[in-house]
A and B are shown apart, each in its own frame.
Chain A
């Protein structure tokens, strides 16, 4: 088993794993054990913020798996992320129990508010953590499976596929906005209290959630890497580079695509589920097509086709957003962000990581050298 995950681990991957593993232990330790006055103390808010970034990193990895390695440009990955988030949110809502504003032991506040008399059937079971976790995987996975089943069999490719994934997330956005759906409408799910009996806002819970995010990021990375370097992964990359040729060689292209797409959707769902308790709210705006497009941009900024790069992109862009939206930059941050996207696409087509690798290679071997990775075809 470990061979599947660890074979041919390259240097970048090892460093990445080491850093994330280090963060998983170090940051909670510095937060919990070091007293607040010390220079080494990490405030809880910083930890939650980085927890959020790492959730985005996991989402970016899941997208890179389908886009960078399989050539499926999904403009709807935010939908899987949000569905995972909603599954977690529903669990958290049920945990509130009678501590809600209206004190109704069964119905969440927003249902009492809108005069709902009983819990809709699709809320059943979410009071159980294992069931909710199953749904975190199953709902996005199933949706991706059904969607992919149709789309890949009918050989919808390229731009057409991108646009219908966008239609998918847009339709879900509109649906979840409706108050009649029973997911809290525009306000979504919020005001969470407990997770597994621990207070969501407690420092220790936040530290645990952060560590859990790191663990899931590592797991996601290893799974994605395991897929990519396996024999199956070779076929997937072949599909990306020459789909018709792969088909003519006798591979059932649609099945490979479907597998990767479904795995990726589950991964995005997990990222969403970890995101919700750390951010404290899930609402339909997560389905917005703009969010999905932004995810694509993280991957491009970090480096498409390199899993570490995707994760890096997710963190860098969101960190930049945090910095740019405060202080004197606040009214102008969109200029900076927009310029970053234009700059990266024109001058760093391989993203930060790809460009860094190139520079590194160049310095090491001034001679032509280095067989470059085949450029991803459209």
Chain B
């Protein structure tokens, strides 16, 4: 009690009553199993993350209708880390220690994942991370249901080289770790394929960059060297809308200089007039337009849940669908919610993805996914023009010097960065 007394002294009259009482409220009935949802509902990332919170709520509701897990109902605990990275760590800690959640589904940006990582390691809990990312990580407590670079970037480049006969490449990205790594991997890959150094242009812009006039005209200029040119875009979220608007206005057509994007999905396109962008590409592991019974059921369910017939679905949502299904199966296999048991049970678990395949959790905590290339259609959806078989996610890129000998294997080696050459685990 004494800490609460001291708090009271410090807070004085104004706020204390309501807020301190708030933290005293008895936790809800103990019979439920709690699942944490750690997605920003305000701030700059709310634009992407809010729907992921909704999709989790829907999945949990759905699971409860089926009787919950191991006979227990699930209860979602929603917190708002407000696009503030230290707050992500604080909220993660709160979810695990105060709310005693069994698993957390959350994070979008790499930095938010990096920020909560020490917390999950220290308190030994489980995080499902649903977004495509730069790779170079394999942690015992994290399960990566989004794409690693080899599940998105490289197949996209292969497609362009093969189908569009692209010989000259613009790698444009926002200046943070995901584009940097992806572009490094792509550059190494392209050079290895015999593309000349001067046929690759790399450009970085800050977050939220809104004036693209100069860069788009640079791209146009780069594209007039007499070789077929394409842009590989790792431009992040908010900056995409002005980028595409500028492309449309400066008349960069997909037939001349196609742009393939790794961070532009149905949600982002919902904010743009897509008619000038028809034919530009995106690479994901899921598109709403995929025609499978699973996907059609999911879309129907989602629209009903959102009570909005125009609600769109996207790739990270599918990642949560797969991740949640895998977690449920792993809990059932382990017959326990204990994190250690669930973590051990997860590798090898299979769950259907929405594009007609069965994804599998690998020992490196990444999953197998198909790679789809879609062309933007006039209605803001994608027309799938290419689909690969299931590709296993690489935690460590084969194309980077520092990591080509590393593998993650939490089943046999019990280690996230096992060096196959030295036969040892690196780091901590």
Residue A349 at the B interface, CB < 8 A? no
B177 touches A325 (CB 8 A): no
Closest chain A residue to B93, Cβ basis: A45
Partner of B176, one of A187, A322, A331: A187
Q: Which residues of B contact A192 (CB under 8 A)?
A: 118
B417 touches A325 (CB 8 A): no
Chain B 1-28 interface residues, beta-carbon cutoff 8 Å to A? 1-3, 6-7, 9-15, 19, 22-23
Partner of B6, one of A23, A45, A321: A23
Partner of B417, one of A101, A279, A316: A101
Given A45-B97, A279-B89, A316-B15, does the pair A101, B426 have CB atoms closer than 8 Å? yes
Partner of A188, one of B93, B111, B416, B426: B111
A193 touches B428 (CB 8 A): yes
Residue A112 at the B interface, CB < 8 A? yes
Complex Cα spacing A344 to B81, Å: 24
B427 touches A102 (CB 8 A): yes
Chain B contributes a number of interface residues (CB within 8 A of A) equal to: 64
Q: Which residues of B contact A356 (CB under 8 A)?
A: 12-13
A185 touches B180 (CB 8 A): yes
- Type the 1/0 row for A191-215, where 1 means its CB is closer than 8 Å to any CB of B: 1110000000100000000000000
CB distance from B304 to the nearest CB of A (A): 21
Interface of chain A, helix or strand or loop or mixed? helix
Complex Cα spacing A113 to B86, Å: 23
Q: Which residues of B contact A191 (CB under 8 A)?
A: 114, 117-118
Complex Cα spacing A320 to B10, Å: 13
Highest count of chain A CB atoms <10 Å: which of B15, B181, B401:
B15
Complex Cα spacing A104 to B419, Å: 13
A187 touches B111 (CB 8 A): yes
Q: Which residues of B contact A330 (CB under 8 A)?
A: 41, 78-80
CB distance from B96 to the nearest CB of A (A): 8
B427 touches A179 (CB 8 A): no
CB distance from B263 to the nearest CB of A (A): 14
Q: Which residues of B contact A315 (CB under 8 A)?
A: 10-11
Q: Which residues of A contact B137 (CB under 8 A)?
A: 101
Complex Cα spacing A186 to B111, Å: 7
- Type the 1/0 row for B89-122, where 1 means its CB is closer than 8 Å to any CB of A: 1110110011000000000011100110111001
Chain A 280-338 interface residues, beta-carbon cutoff 8 Å to B? 280-281, 283, 285, 312, 315-316, 319-323, 325-327, 330-331, 333-334
User: Looking at chain A, what size class is its interface with the partner chain?
Assistant: 35 or more
Residue A49 at the B interface, CB < 8 A? yes
A179 touches B175 (CB 8 A): yes
Q: Which residues of A contact B78 (CB under 8 A)?
A: 327, 330-331
Partner of A49, one of B80, B90, B400: B90
Q: Which residues of A contact B176 (CB under 8 A)?
A: 177, 179, 185-187
Complex Cα spacing A326 to B38, Å: 10
Complex Cα spacing A142 to B6, Å: 38
Chain A 258-288 interface residues, beta-carbon cutoff 8 Å to B? 279-281, 283, 285
Closest chain B residue to A189, Cβ basis: B114
B3 touches A187 (CB 8 A): no
Query: Which of A3-11, A36-44, A58-66, A363-371 has 4 or more CB atoms under 8 Å from chain B?
Result: A36-44
Given A30-B2, A334-B42, does the pair A352, B14 have CB atoms closer than 8 Å? yes
Complex Cα spacing A186 to B42, Å: 19
CB distance from A313 to the nearest CB of B (A): 11
B3 touches A27 (CB 8 A): yes
Given A352-B12, A356-B12, does the pair A201, B122 have CB atoms closer than 8 Å? yes
Q: List 11 A-B contacts (CB under 8 A).
A: A26-B6, A102-B402, A102-B427, A104-B402, A179-B204, A186-B109, A279-B89, A280-B119, A285-B85, A326-B94, A352-B12
